[in-house]
Amino acid sequence: MTNSWTDIRNTDLVVIMGGNAAEAHPCGFKWVTEAKANRGAKLIVVDPRFNRSASVADFYAPIRQGTDIAFLLGLINYCMLNDKVQWDYVKTFTNASFLVKEGFTYRDGLFTGYDEQKRDYDRATWEYEIGPDGYAAVDETLQHPRSVWTLLKQHVAMYTPELVERICGTPRDKFLAVAQMVSECSSPTKTMTSMYALGWTQHSKGSQNIRTMAMLQLILGNIGVRGGGMNALRGHSNIQGLTDVGLLSNSLPGYMNLATDREPDLAAYMSTRGFRPLRPNQTSYWQNYRKFLVSFLKSMWGPAATAQNDFGFDWLPKLDVPNYDILRAFELMKQGKMTAYLCQGFNPLQAFPNKAKLVEGLSKLKLLVVMDPLETETARFWENHGIYNDVDTAAIQTEVIQLPTTCFAEDEGALVNSGRWLQWHWPGGTPPGEAQPDTWIMAQIHLRLKALYRTEGGAFPDPILNLHWPYKDPGLPTPEELTKEMNGYIVADVPDPADPAKKLLEAGKQVANFGQLRDDGSTACGCWIFAGSFTEAGNMMARRDNADPDDTGAYPNWSFSWPANRRILYNRASADINGKPWDPSRKLLEWDGQRWTGYDVPDIAPNAKPRDVGPFIMNAEGVGRLFARGMMRDGPFPVHYEPFESPVANVIAPKVRGNPVARVFADDFAQFADVASPEFPYAATSYRLTEHFHYWTKNNHVNAVLQPEFFVEISEELAKEKGVAKGGWVRVWSKRGSVFAKAVVTKRIKPMICDGKTIHIVGIPIHWGFVGAAKKGFPANVLTPFVGDANIETPEFKAFLVNLEASTGPASV
Amino acid sequence: MNMELSRRAFLLTAGAGVAGTALGAFGFGDVEAAYAAAIRPFKLVNTTETRNTCTYCSVACGIILYSKGDLRKGETAEITYIEGDSDHPTNRGTLCPKGAALLSIVKSKTRLTYPMVRRPGSDRFERISWDEALDKIVRVLKDDRDKNFIALNEAGVTVNRWVTSGILAASATTNETAFATYKVMRSTGMLAFDNQARV
Ligand code: SF4
């Protein structure tokens, strides 16, 4: 989230699209209700189903899953055509005026530089024209034929209400009603918030779904203001934190990246990470990258990381491919190329697409280790459960070790909520049996591995032998020790340049903020964005002061919000070019002639003059990007692409299948249903229920009672066509697998008309499996396709094709 | 619950103590005993309160754990009740059907309690000690790393990667667990390293 749950109270319009907050984030959704009750805010829901959020909405519009970009580009087109643009914001705070290089074009669904063989672009032309002064060229009138604004206008012109209806199935009048409500938020005193979740991410163009809404929010002037923003509701309790700490195949903590094979040493790696400002005076905060990186390396390898060895840069692995994401890992497993796989509190057999492929992969491992507080299907993938898991147990040679871990109630530490609050929590119970904390398990693995390398030698032991392990009990690092490392500490005294007798930084102290980090090895910091969370003043994450001065929703002394305890990102954009709040009743920051004052920690230097420095300090431009340059693999502007399994061809580019640059493994392509396949005529989508959390709560008796049994949802029309009774059995199958389910026949789902064709929607909740207290049932991933988003490989769980028939149910029931 | 215990709990509370004394003073000794036996002890009176957050979604509702026993005093502690934290700015005490049932996930019948191993081809898990389990894991990891570690790529560039074993990190664990996991796994050169952000 750019904002926070409690900030939603400040909005005028909530758009829930790509999520279902009332169902999946109920206690956060309360802030939508507050805004409605106290400010007269309106709620719009756009979704294939009339869902729980829709049931309390002021306006609901249906949409076919996988067509959100067409809808959102339609909204941008509407705003541009009807002069519903917050002009002052767009002109000064976005790259609308920037000129794009000559040679950049878009035609028939593709941009310049496409290579069909590689399924990739040469992105050289997706850049700004650089002027004689070395900065990006701009035309403040926005009229230049190659200005971002002109190009965007041309790009979205085709997305008329008629085209939106053809692609999305949203009736024209409903689309226009949404467009009208949304466009009103171009007023500087009206704000819209976007609430989205996996309904947007789990597509082969998920990143662009989100980007399109972010562009709309920039055009409306809604980023950086109270009640506005792009608000990813997020999933698991600490998925934000795990991502912040960089537990992704290509990441370092704090949104830095691992080097690739093309970056042989630190100098080469840093040569593309200079982040020189693209406009005069801009902050371009990533210019500090080297400080964050070196401080991270110091936290990894302590005294062994020296200037002579590039601070251990070579001890980090380099990538030969963009990602070793979950899909690639299971592909490698299936090819027999993986030996051991560790699952820490994770149930991939349920969570990843194409269950049959997952079983095949796990069966080829030598060792599977599962660390979990609970039983999981993954730990028992080798166990035969009839139709629910029909495996040949004796033939599976994988050894499986299952390790019991503590659960949240027995564990201490911080979780990061969707609003970036790091909230410390304390243990209240003794773990059952021999259950151990994950930190202990990790320490044991490290210490034993290190001991073996000491005694036996082996492949490149240096990074393991030198790993900085300064804990009082090496076998059990405490949460406090670990969190202090992440906050960062001073390794060596730094004299004050003004008075060498004094110390600027004193060895052994915690850093106060990331501004103190240095690139000469005198500071260490595990995750620079967490700097300030555990300082010499103590554990800021443990703060529990719920005072909220002037009821802004900021709660500045409750826990700690990264970065720098800032509650709303890009908050300088809440004021105009002169530093006056756009909306005085929703003041966040204000320039008082000397400095920025207000309710939040400013994200630009407190004394940065308003006309000089742009609000988007992480961007080299200093402004928000309507044109993404070469930063997105699938285009600097979003384009409507159909899902890989689609009931209709792409009407704007019939030759393009799915997202043209999404990575697809050969075997998986063979397992996709054809476009508009008569064999798989129905458009399926998967989702969550409020009574369950993924695959855990089926272990919980109460939740198992509340939602005991797997079902699918279909419309009354489809039920009639297929002779399905309410509550009767159906069989649903895709090109990858088949499930039996009870049918919920509902008015909440209606057939849609797309490009003249009737499309039936099949809704599939995800929560069942073969272990736990609930009835055995099928997980949705028996059906889902094995393909991910072109930029970050999130699987396409939200849009795929199935067939369906009335059934007498599985024989064994 | 036997009477002894009930009566003790009954008399421990100040109000009940006074009532007990008053009843006793009026000569209703037997009545007092019967009355004490009939009243269930109020569970929360002698519990320890601990602040925590709901383990499920990232709304991160504040909760209060009530335990018999106090971990901070080095005692064993059993969680007996969980409720929403009414001082928490986000949830203000409310919980959804998942948060409201947290106690039964802490106490789920399918909580794991001992390390187990399923041997190749076997149809069951067997108990194993922590030492044995950890040694086995580390043996397989080291043998695989030693065999398949790539120090230099074909062009002779130092790449120091290991791609034949991998880990999926949890997403309901703490930042601190995440950092420990990061250090331990990344220092081996492991690349097939992912979390649940995508699913
Ligand atoms: S109680 Fe419900 S809404 Fe609150 S954190 Fe838990 S799952 Fe999320």
* B contacts of A792 (beta carbons < 8 Å): 198
**pLDDT score recorded for residue B39:** 72
Task: Give residue ranges with CB within 6 A of ligand 1.
Answer: A 25-27; B 54, 56-57, 59-61, 91, 95-96, 98-99
**pLDDT score recorded for residue B28:** 55
How far apart are the C-alpha atoms of A344 and A365, rounded to whole Å? 17
Q: Are the Cβ atoms of A367 and B140 closer than 8 angstroms?
A: yes
Residue to substitute from B171, B181, B188, B190, interface A, most A β-carbons within 10 A: B171
To the nearest whole angstrom, how far is the Cα of B139 from the nearest Cα of chain A?
Answer: 8
To the nearest whole angstrom, how far is the Cα of A399 from the nearest Cα of chain B?
Answer: 5
Which whole number is the average pLDDT over A354-376? 98
pLDDT at B24 over 70: no
Identify the residue with better confidence: B25 or B185: B185
Which helix (H) or strand (E) segment holds residue A363: the answer is: helix A355-363
Across the interface, of B78, B138, B153, the residue whose CB is closest to A445 is B138
Q: Which two tokens stand for residue A144?
A: 């230049």
The predicted-structure confidence for A510-559, as pLDDT tens digits, reads as follows: 999 999 999 999 999 999 999 999 999 999 999 999 999 999 999 999 99
Q: Strand A682-687 vs strand A761-765: parallel, antiparallel, or unpaired?
A: parallel
Which whole number is the average pLDDT over A564-574? 97
Q: Are the Cβ atoms of B179 and A527 closer than 8 angstroms?
A: yes
Residue to substitute from B49, B141, B179, interface A, most A β-carbons within 10 A: B179
Question: What ipTM describes this predicted complex?
Answer: 0.97
Which whole number is the average pLDDT over A137-155? 98
A255: left (phi over 0), alpha (psi -120 to 50) or beta: left
Rounded to the nearest angstrom, the distance between the alpha carbon of A696 and the centre of ligand 1 is: 14
Q: Whose CA is nearest to atom 2 of ligand 1?
A: B96
**Nearest atom of ligand 1 to the alpha carbon of B59:** 5
Rounded to the nearest angstrom, the distance between the alpha carbon of A709 and the centre of ligand 1 is: 22
Quick one: what percent of chain A has pLDDT higher than 90? 99
**Burial (CB count within 10 angstroms: exposed 0-12, middle 13-18, buried 19+), residue A50:** middle
In A531-550, the residues whose Cβ lies within 8 Å of chain B are: 544, 546, 548
Q: Which of A27, A692, A707 to mutate to test the pocket of ligand 1 (most atoms within 8 A of CB)?
A: A27
**pLDDT-based confidence at residue B199 (cuts at 50, 70, 90):** confident
Across the interface, of B110, B120, B168, the residue whose CB is closest to A348 is B168
Provide the strand spans (E) within A639-737: 682-687, 711-715, 729-733
In chain A, the residue whose alpha carbon lies closest to the alpha carbon of B129 is A434
pLDDT at B65 over 80: yes
Provide the strand spans (E) within A4-119: 13-17, 42-47, 59-62, 106-107, 110-111, 114-115
**Nearest atom of ligand 1 to the alpha carbon of B100:** 1
Q: Which two tokens stand for residue A407?
A: 């659960």
pLDDT at A634 over 80: yes
Q: Return the minimum-mean-pLDDT range out of A186-195, A328-337, A758-767, B30-39.
A: B30-39
Q: At what angle do helices B3-12 and B29-38 cross, to 10 degrees?
A: 100
Angle at A393 between CA A388 and CA A395, to 5 degrees: 135
To the nearest whole angstrom, how far is the Cα of B41 from the nearest Cα of chain A?
Answer: 21
Domain positions in chain B: 10-38, 48-106, 116-194
The predicted-structure confidence for B164-192, as pLDDT tens digits, reads as follows: 999 999 889 999 999 999 999 999 999 99
**pLDDT-based confidence at residue A739 (cuts at 50, 70, 90):** very high
**pLDDT-based confidence at residue B45 (cuts at 50, 70, 90):** confident
* Mean pLDDT, chain A, whole residue set: 97
Rounded to the nearest angstrom, the distance between the alpha carbon of A100 and the centre of ligand 1 is: 45
Q: Whose CA is nearest to atom 1 of ligand 1?
A: B99
Note the residue count of chain A: 813
pLDDT at A767 over 80: yes
Across the interface, of B106, B117, B195, the residue whose CB is closest to A239 is B195
Across the interface, of A351, A408, A446, the residue whose CB is closest to B196 is A351
To the nearest whole angstrom, how far is the Cα of B86 from the nearest Cα of chain A?
Answer: 11
Q: Are the Cβ atoms of B159 and A422 closer than 8 angstroms?
A: no
Q: Are the Cβ atoms of B112 and A326 closer than 8 angstroms?
A: no
**pLDDT score recorded for residue B27:** 52
Q: Domain B48-106 adopts which CATH fold?
A: Phosphorylase Kinase; domain 1 (3.30.200)
How far apart are the C-alpha atoms of A604 and A594, rounded to whole Å? 14
Q: Would you list the DSSP string of A323-334?
A: ---HHHHHHHHH
CA torsion angle A667 A669 A674 A680 (round to 10): 60
Are A399 and B117 in contact, with CB atoms under 8 Å apart? yes
**pLDDT score recorded for residue A537:** 98
Beta bridge partners of A450: none
* B contacts of A341 (beta carbons < 8 Å): 165-168, 192
* B contacts of A436 (beta carbons < 8 Å): 130
In degrees and rounded to multiples of 5, residue A306 shows phi and psi of -125, 165
Nearest alpha-carbon partner for A68 in A141, A142, A169 = A169
Q: Which domains does chain A have, with CATH numbers?
A: 5-235+622-631 (3.40.228.10), 259-315+489-524 (no CATH), 666-812 (2.40.40.20)
The predicted-structure confidence for A430-465, as pLDDT tens digits, reads as follows: 999 999 999 999 999 999 999 999 999 999 999 999
Which whole number is the average pLDDT over B62-88? 97
**pLDDT-based confidence at residue A811 (cuts at 50, 70, 90):** confident
**pLDDT-based confidence at residue A812 (cuts at 50, 70, 90):** low
Three-class secondary structure assignment of B10-48: HHHCHHHHHHHHHHHHCCCHHHHHHHHHHCCCCHHHHCE
Across the interface, of B117, B122, B180, the residue whose CB is closest to A482 is B180
How far apart are the C-alpha atoms of A69 and A155, rounded to whole Å? 13
CA distances from B82 to A544, B50, B79 (A): 19, 10, 8
Q: Are the Cβ atoms of B160 and A399 closer than 8 angstroms?
A: no
C-beta neighbour count of A600 within 10 angstroms: 23
Are B32 and B3 in contact, with CB atoms under 8 Å apart? no
In A581-600, the residues whose Cβ lies within 8 Å of chain B are: none
Q: Are the Cβ atoms of A433 and B172 closer than 8 angstroms?
A: no
Angle at A696 between CA A691 and CA A700, to 5 degrees: 65
In chain A, the residue whose alpha carbon lies closest to the alpha carbon of B124 is A383
**pLDDT score recorded for residue B12:** 41
Q: Strand A489-490 vs strand A421-425: parallel, antiparallel, or unpaired?
A: unpaired
**pLDDT-based confidence at residue B15 (cuts at 50, 70, 90):** very low
